[in-house]
Structure 1
Amino acid sequence: MNRPIIAVTMGDPAGIGPEIVAKALAGSDVQTCCRPLVVGDRNAMERGIRDSGVRLQVEETDDLPGEDERTGVLYLRTCSRLADDDIVYGKPSTTAGDAVYRYIVEAATLCSSGRVAGMATAPISKVAMNRAGHHYPGHTELLAHLTNSSECVMMLAGDRLRVSLVTIHEPLAAVPGLLTVDKVLSTIRTTSRDLARYFIPSPRIGVAALNPHCGEEGLFGNEEQRIIAPAIALARSEGIEVQGPLSADTLFHFAIDGGYDAVVCMYHDQGLIPLKLVHFDDGVNVTLGLPIIRTSVDHGTAYDLAGSGTASATSMTAAIRMAASMARQAQAAVSGP
């Protein structure tokens, strides 16, 4: 296929979002793999360009970038007209929180209509978005609602390690009570299916135990026996190549060495700590289980760096490139050999 069009949401204007979007789009890695369309705010985006030190000109458009788009132009779909008081660095505002919500909705609508091939998102303030009346824990839950998707999975990915999460933004103390056979099975199933769809045929999945030493036959907990092992058995009966439950203190070593294409983890930090140890700069957040392609940076708004011009765009670049790669893989599957 030709270079796919990827909608890139600007993120929270009080954070590093506009800066890292500008830096990513100014690089040849993004321009050679896709046609980016930024969804955001002109005032915030132009400030981000100035602070980043790159040479880009903003062009507002209601159309889509063509194959003949001009070098040095950032094509912007404007969804807000924020005042300077709404975009003070390090001070997320309720007005900006509402605008961020609208950027996500617009990008998701473009994806669902087929006008763009995927979306890559810059970091947002979940607090500001909630204060603006949009009550979602984050992108994943909002996109699940917008696309009527019931089995979404958060996966963090890099070249050496991929991890997907059974539970996401939950208190650690609540995790054992949230685990069910159906939820673990759904995560395994969605991870395997979308890895095969977008990344690698016949993926090999490792499933982490919840408790130390896989619970030591119930001595340290019985979730492995009651929940995780039965879910794995059901997944195998569906033809999924999956192993576990495996002790988390050794599993990631073997996964990074190539023994598994992804690791299913029971809770947020179980997966993100090892992922960020090896992919702190270039990790990508991928939402599996959606009818659209969505990737994101694997970091937050970094208010302490906002406006400094020093924020790294490595993860933003990787997210856009991964969305483009997923779009090409999906198109190839539809087109056939």
Structure 2
Amino acid sequence: MPHKPIIGITMGDPASIGPEIAVKALLDFKIYDYCRPLLVGDAAVFKHIIKKLGLMAQINPIQNIADARFEMGKLDVFDLQNVDLEKLEFGAISAMAGEASFQAVKKVIELALAGDIDATVTGPINKKSINEAGHHYAGHTEIYADLTHTKKYAMLLVEDNMKVIHVSTHVSLRQACDLVKKERIIEVVELLHHGLISLGEKNLKIGIAGLNPHAGDSGLFGTEDDEEILPAVQQALALGYDVEGPVPADTLFSKAATGYYGGIVAMYHDQGHIPFKLSGFKWNPLKKQMDSVKGVNITMGLPIIRTSVDHGTAFEIAGKGIASSDAMTLAINSAVQLAAYRKAEIQQD
């Protein structure tokens, strides 16, 4: 297995579905055909969820990568020992859970920056718990940017034909409008173009969403589309990118779903997330739960690889054994693909 990339996978919030979906994903033994997975978090938490749900796995706690066995059915855990199981309550916000999830993210970033692992995959965290622990971040993306000293970055969501990058994410809607600037849009186009190539996408045509209804309708419904987005599109074309826009968002995503665009640029969080999740999340009204939750979150612009599930902590079903691991499996697959592309880039240099 030495030639296979080592993928560091954080447990997420220990009170969430994070540990469950990580274990379930690694019980798909095909994972071991193309990578060496390493869980990062608390061995006790993983042992607890395995016992509680009757999952067929064992845990190998380690403190050094050299001690990992990468054996199917015996999951290696870089053990941080930050959780007191007697105080852990599924579905509850707590500073302890926030601290444990933050430390897992911090450790996996350190391992990647040191070259000990080839890519990172993150389980879901609870922003309130993280902040109660004293770590004031809006989410994973901001943690990674800060700890890797990255200034230019963006969130890219991937699920089948839908590949959506965002000009802004975790800010108020009012602030998001103010962040629609020509320079930022061009920056995001460049990140998306590189991301599409890294993921093996052949269609590099990029659709750029308008901000206002009907993309402003020549200034009738706002001027940002004409004053910021259109000039960005024109400059991107001059730079050689295959872009189109601003396209009204209510038609852009329906075209994207058919594969017309290789990727699209959304102007703010919900503009991109709502249509994306309509594509990848499948709710079962009879069972009153998700049958499938697909979608990968990739942070573009980092010096290391980071992919993630594109769903939250699902506190309401934590510890019940019904969480879908589809998104975690896809996130691992994407991390492996990105690691292979990065390795090929390095070899070419």
- Given the two structures, how large is their TM-score scaled by the length of structure 2? 0.92
Query: C-alpha separation between the residues in 2 aligned to 1:71 and 1:258?
Result: 36
Secondary structure of residue in 1 paired with 2:80: strand
Indicate if the aligned counterparts of 2:14 and 2:100 stay in contact, CA closer than 8 A.
Answer: no
Query: 2:332 — aligned with what?
Result: 320
Cα drift, residue 65 of structure 1: 6.7
Secondary structure of residue in 2 paired with 1:195: helix
Query: 1:215 — aligned with what?
Result: 216
Query: 2:250 — aligned with what?
Result: 249
Structure 2: tracts of 5 or more residues without a match: 282-292
Query: C-alpha separation between the residues in 1 aligned to 2:311 and 2:52?
Result: 20
- CA RMSD in angstroms comes to 1.8
State the AA in 2 paired with 1:273. Answer: I
Cα drift, residue 322 of structure 1: 0.9
Cα drift, residue 49 of structure 1: 1.6
- Given the two structures, how large is their TM-score scaled by the length of structure 1? 0.95
State the AA in 2 paired with 1:124. Answer: I
Query: 1:118 — aligned with what?
Result: 119
- The 1:236–1:86 alpha-carbon spacing in structure 2 relative to 1, beyond 3 Å, is farther
Secondary structure of residue in 1 paired with 2:316: coil
Indicate if the aligned counterparts of 2:163 and 2:263 stay in contact, CA closer than 8 A.
Answer: yes
Cα drift, residue 67 of structure 1: 9.7
Query: C-alpha separation between the residues in 2 aligned to 1:166 and 1:332?
Result: 29
Query: C-alpha separation between the residues in 1 aligned to 2:126 and 2:138?
Result: 10
Find out whether 1:282 has 2:283 as its counterpart: no
What whole-Å deviation, never above 9, does each CA across 1:24-53 have from its counterpart, x for those lacking one? 011123222211110001121111222343
Indicate if the aligned counterparts of 1:122 and 1:316 stay in contact, CA closer than 8 A.
Answer: yes
Indicate if the aligned counterparts of 2:62 and 2:68 stay in contact, CA closer than 8 A.
Answer: no
Cα drift, residue 180 of structure 1: 1.4
Indicate if the aligned counterparts of 2:121 and 2:306 stay in contact, CA closer than 8 A.
Answer: yes
Query: C-alpha separation between the residues in 1 aligned to 2:94 and 2:82?
Result: 14
Query: 2:44 — aligned with what?
Result: 43
Q: State the percentage of identical aligned residues.
A: 39
Cα drift, residue 202 of structure 1: 6.7
What whole-Å deviation, never above 9, does each CA across 1:203-243 have from its counterpart, x for those lacking one? 22110001111111000111110111111122222211111
Structure 1: tracts of 5 or more residues without a match: none
Query: C-alpha separation between the residues in 2 aligned to 1:325 and 1:71?
Result: 21
Secondary structure of residue in 1 paired with 2:261: coil
Query: C-alpha separation between the residues in 2 aligned to 1:320 and 1:184?
Result: 28
Query: 2:158 — aligned with what?
Result: 157
- The 1:166–1:146 alpha-carbon spacing in structure 2 relative to 1, beyond 3 Å, is same
Query: 2:345 — aligned with what?
Result: 333
Alignment of 1:12-161 (within 5 A): 12-64=13-65, 69-161=70-162
Of stretches 302-311 and 63-72 in structure 1, the one that deviates more from structure 2 is: 63-72
Between 1 and 2, higher relative CO (CA 8 Å, sep ≥ 6) is seen in 1
Alignment counterpart, residue 308 of structure 2, candidates 296, 308, 325? 296
- The 1:65–1:72 alpha-carbon spacing in structure 2 relative to 1, beyond 3 Å, is farther
